[in-house]
Amino acid sequence: MEKGTTYVGLDVHKKTVVACRMRVTADKRIEWEMKTFETMTADLLRLHDWLSEWEVKQVALESTADYWKPVFNILEDGFEVILVNAQHVKKVPGRKTDATDAEWLAELMLHGLLRASFIPAKPQRVLRELTRYRTTVVRERGRVVNRVEKLLESTNIKLSSVVTDVMGVSAKAMLRELAAGVTEPQALAELAKGRLRNKLQALEAALTGTVDEHHRFLLAQQLGHIDFLDEQIEVLNQQISQHLEQMTRPPADDDGSGASENETGEPLSWSAAVELLDTIPGIDRRTAEVILAEIGLDMSQFPTADDLASWAGFAPGNHQSGGKRYSGRTTKGNRPIGAALNQAAWAASRTKGSFLKARYHRLATRRGKKRAIVAIGRSILVSIWYMLSRQESYQDLGADYYDQRRKETKISYLTTQLSKLGFVVTLDPVPAAA
C-alpha cells in the first residue's frame, strides 16, 4: 500500500460502468471518488481521462459475459488492467450494490488481494476469435447433416445404414441426384465409387423409398447449406493459417506473451508449435490451433502443468467435511479448450499401439468411460505443457507401458491364475530374432 498510488475498481455492466478510484494520502488516510459512466466509446474515453487525472497504476474490473471487452480495449494501452473472477470477490449477501462492488474491488487491490485472470496479447485474442467461430461453424454443419439424416428417415431412405458418412463423395452424389428428381435405386447405386461398389445390392435396397416433392426441396436446401458451410470453414482455415504466419513473438519480458526458448536460444514460432502438437495421438492441426489459441506459447503463465490443468477445468474439485473426503466434480474451466481436449481424448483412445489408448482402457474398466476420457484429456494437456516448455516432440510410452513397468508382478499373477485352473506353467523366453 504505497502513498499517493491510486487503485481503481470497475463494476462493468452492459450499459454502465461504475468506477471507484482510491488512494492513500500523506496522512495515511484513504481517499476515494465514485463515478458512473456509460459504455459507449465516447463515454469510455471520458472514463480513461478521468482515471488519468490521478496516478493510476492498476485497474481491476469485474464483469459478466463479454461486457468487459469494450472497457479493456480502451484502457489496455494506458493502464495495467486486471480482470478478476467474480467468484473470488463475492461480498456478503444483502449488502451488494454496483457502487459497493466497485469500492470493494479497489479496496482489495489496495491491499494486494486480487488475482488476475489470464488475458493473452491481442494477436492471440484475434486467433481465439477465429478458431472459436470456426468451431461454431463446424458444429452448425454437424447439425445440418443430422437434419439430412432425419429427412432421409422420413422418406424411407436408409442410406446411413450402408455408408459410413452420408456426406462422403459417393453418398453426396446420390443425394444430389435424389434431390434433382432421380428415384430409380439402380441408377442411384451406380454412383458408388471405390470399395462402396461392393455393396451395390445393399445400396439399392437402402435407396428404395417414398420421396415426395417437398422432400426433394428440403434436401436441396440442406445440401446447399452444407456446401455454404464447407466454403466458410475453408475460408476460416485459410485466414487462421495466414494469421499464424503473420503473428510475431513479442519479448517474453514485454507482456508475458512470449514463448519459451530452446537450448540454442531460438524462440518457438506459432507454426512450429502447431506442428509440435500435431505429433500427439488424437490431435490434428485444427485441434492444435484451437488449443494454442487458448493457452498461447508462454507456459510461464502457468507455473506448473497442474496449474494449466486446473485453469482448463481438468482438475478434480476438493470436497472435504468432517474429516471425510467426498467425490469432487472437475473445476469449471475454459470451455473451448475443454471441448477440444475431449475430442482429442476420444480420438486418442482409438489410436492403435499408443500409450493413451492403453491408459484409457485401463481406466475405463475401473472408473467408467467418461472419467477415463477426462483423465486422457488431462494427460494430453500435461504433455502439451512440457512440450511447449521444452520444445520437444511427443514421446509415446507405448501400448505395453503398464505391462513392462511391472513385468515380474504381471508374470507372477498370470502364472498363479493358470496354476489355480490346474495347469503346470513353464515359461520359456521368445528367442531373439536373427
pLDDT value, residue 251 = 46
Give the mean pLDDT of 310-317: 88
Q: Is the pLDDT of residue 105 over 80?
A: yes
Q: Is the pLDDT of residue 4 over 80?
A: no
Compute the distance between CA of residue 265 and CA of residue 253 in angstroms, rounded to an integer: 15
Cell of 377: 484429456
Compute the distance between CA of residue 122 and CA of residue 117 in angstroms, rounded to an integer: 15
Which has more pLDDT, 109 or 172?
172
pLDDT value, residue 329 = 79
pLDDT tier for residue 100 given thresholds of 50, 70 and 90: confident
Please give the mean pLDDT across all residues of the chain.
89
- How far from the centroid of its chain's Cα atoms is residue 101's Cα? 31
- How far from the centroid of its chain's Cα atoms is residue 375's Cα? 15
**Most confident among 207-216, 248-257, 262-271 (mean pLDDT):** 207-216
pLDDT tier for residue 324 given thresholds of 50, 70 and 90: confident
Structural domains for the chain: 6-110 (3.30.420.10), 124-245 (1.10.287), 253-390 (no CATH)
DSSP string over 150-199: HHHHHTT--GGGT-S-TTSHHHHHHHHHHHHT---HHHHHTT--GGGGGG
Give the mean pLDDT of 365-374: 93
Give the list of residues 6+ apart from residue 183 with CB closer than 8 angstroms, or none: 211
Cβ atoms of 13 and 99 closer than 8 Å = no
Q: Distance between terminal CA atoms of the chain? A: 75
Q: Is the pLDDT of residue 254 over 50?
A: no
Give the mean pLDDT of 41-47: 95
Q: What percent of the chain has pLDDT over 90?
A: 67
pLDDT value, residue 427 = 86
Compute the distance between CA of residue 377 and CA of residue 341 in angstroms, rounded to an integer: 5
Amino acid at position 262, single letter: N
pLDDT tier for residue 259 given thresholds of 50, 70 and 90: low
Q: Is the pLDDT of residue 257 over 60?
A: no
Phi–psi pair at 18, nearest 5 degrees: -95, 120
pLDDT tier for residue 253 given thresholds of 50, 70 and 90: very low
pLDDT value, residue 24 = 80
Report the DSSP beta bridge partners of residue 94.
Answer: none
Give the β-pairing of 16-24 and 6-12.
antiparallel
Entry pTM: 0.86
pLDDT tier for residue 93 given thresholds of 50, 70 and 90: low
Q: Is the pLDDT of residue 308 over 90?
A: yes
Give the list of residues 6+ apart from residue 244 with CB closer than 8 angstroms, or none: 127, 270, 271, 274, 289
Compute the distance between CA of residue 194 and CA of residue 171 in angstroms, rounded to an integer: 12
Q: Is the pLDDT of residue 161 over 50?
A: yes
Q: What percent of the chain has pLDDT over 70?
A: 93
| Of the candidate ranges 22-36, 185-199, 302-316, the one whose mean pLDDT is the lowest | 22-36
pLDDT digits (tens, 9 = 90+) for 181-198: 998 999 999 999 999 999
Backbone torsion region of residue 296, taken as left when φ is above 0, otherwise alpha when ψ lies between -120 and 50, otherwise beta:
left
Cell of 225: 447449406
